[in-house]
Amino acid sequence: MNPQNREWPRVAVIVLNWNGWKDTLECLESLRRLDYPAFKTILVDNGSTNDSAARIAEWRQGKMDEAELTIIRTEENLGFAGGNNVGIRHALDAGFDFVWLLNNDTIVDERSLIELVRLARADERIGAAGSLVLFHRAPDRINSAGICVGRFGRRARLLGLNRNKSEAEFLKRREVDAVSGCSMLLRSRALRDVGLLDERYFLYLEEVDLCTRLKQKEFRCWVVPESIIWHKQWGSIQPYPELADYYLSRSQVLYIRKFSSGLHALLDHALFFGKCLPLVLLRSLKIRDFACFKAFWLGMHHGFSGRFDYRWPLKARAETSSGEG
């Protein structure tokens, strides 16, 4: 870190890779163009079963040194929460002021980080700041402009999904219930206060859970439309639709159990499963394959019984171009 940049908060950019070295390298290339003077990238290879770590290490030679890019390898796939927590702990131990969680299947605008930091510096109560996330395949369309959590059912909904990025309501900074873990700047002090990502989720809703805990401690979550990233989306899980149904179901049960109680919890569960279970069933009937329905039902069962140690079995492809989704 250059001493002349010490007036800027130090930011650790955490990129999680699982068998997705092609997308990861494109993400890292875009990070090299960032207009921010005080950041370091921490690449966590999350138990890849291909040659991702070697490919990334080879790419780093002559482009980024250890002071700019640290590569950490885990022995197994720890999920989105567990893998990112490895990087977060490393960043907190190193004394970084902020941690920026960034999906590996994203391309960042050169001003994406500086705009997040500027907002966070303006208000010490901002615990999380998120980018305006656009689809890589349709750059004028919004993937996420924050997340809204329903009062009943506790369903998390992406704000602005498929809307045009030029619509006036999405050009303003605003407070939201949660920001997408696809691009999420977190204040280190807030993480030390509320804790890290809950690793029981493994996949889905971990960022919503963290933002909910931040708000319980009176921190705020904002979206910064001047900070733009482009998201390829669904790369690693697209071949495994039953995996998505399993973890979505299990994670929703966990989230409701954590933040609802009594009759409200019963209503939340009834609303969620009353809406989602028939949709999964209809989809299964249409394609005459009930693997996704069984996965959804198993996820619900494991959520209620506390089987958060279970990992959905799958074989990683030898060649894939994305990370955790």
103-123 residue pLDDT tens: 999 999 999 999 999 999 999
* pLDDT score for 242: 87
Q: How far apart are CA 309 and CA 100, in angstroms?
A: 27
Contact 94, 7 (CB under 8 A): no
Per-residue model confidence (pLDDT) at position 317: 42
- Same domain, residue pair 180 and 269: no
121-172 pLDDT per residue, tens: 999 999 999 999 999 999 999 999 999 998 878 889 999 999 999 999 999 9
Which residue from 192, 175, 182 is spatially nearest to 142, judged by alpha carbons?
Answer: 182
3-state secondary structure of 318: coil
95 domain-assigned: yes
Cα–Cα separations (whole angstroms), residue 51 to 15, 75, 211, 236, 285: 17, 14, 34, 15, 38
List phi, psi (to 5°) of 2: -70, 130
Which residue range forms the structural domain that includes residue 279?
Answer: 241-305
* CB-based contact 184:214 (threshold 8 Å): no
| Structure confidence at residue 227 (pLDDT) | 98
| Structural domain total, the chain | 2
Which phi and psi angles does 140 have, rounded to 5°?
Answer: -95, 0
According to the model, what pLDDT value does residue 234 have? 63
| Dihedral over Cα of 29, 30, 35, 41: its sign | negative
Residue 236's pLDDT is 57
Is the pTM for the entire model greater than 0.85? yes
Distance CA 313, CA 150 (A): 31
Same domain flag for 7 and 111? yes
**C-beta separation of 270 from 320 below 8 A:** no
How far from 160 is each of 149, 157, 238, 298, 301, CA to CA, in Å?
Answer: 14, 9, 22, 31, 32
State the pLDDT at residue 5. Answer: 54
* The pLDDT of residue 34: 97
Phi/psi for 124 (5° steps) reads -65, -15
Answer whether residue 310 is part of any domain: no
Find the helix packing angle between 262-287 and 291-305, rounded to 10°: 160
Whether residue 133 is contained in a domain is answered as yes
Question: How are beta strands 39-45 and 11-17 bridged, if at all?
Answer: parallel
User: 77 and 217 share a domain?
Assistant: yes
Are 254 and 214 found together in one domain?
no
* Residue 239 confidence (pLDDT): 59
With a cut of 70, which residues of the chain have pLDDT below it?
A: 1-6, 234-240, 314-325
Model pLDDT, residue 64: 80
Answer yes or no: do 178 and 47 share one domain.
yes
Q: Are residues 227 and 259 in the same domain?
A: no
pLDDT at 321: 39
Instruction: Give the Cβ contact number of residue 311 at 10 Å.
Output: 14
210 and 255 housed in the same domain = no
CA distances for 312 relative to 18, 302, 315, angstroms: 15, 11, 10
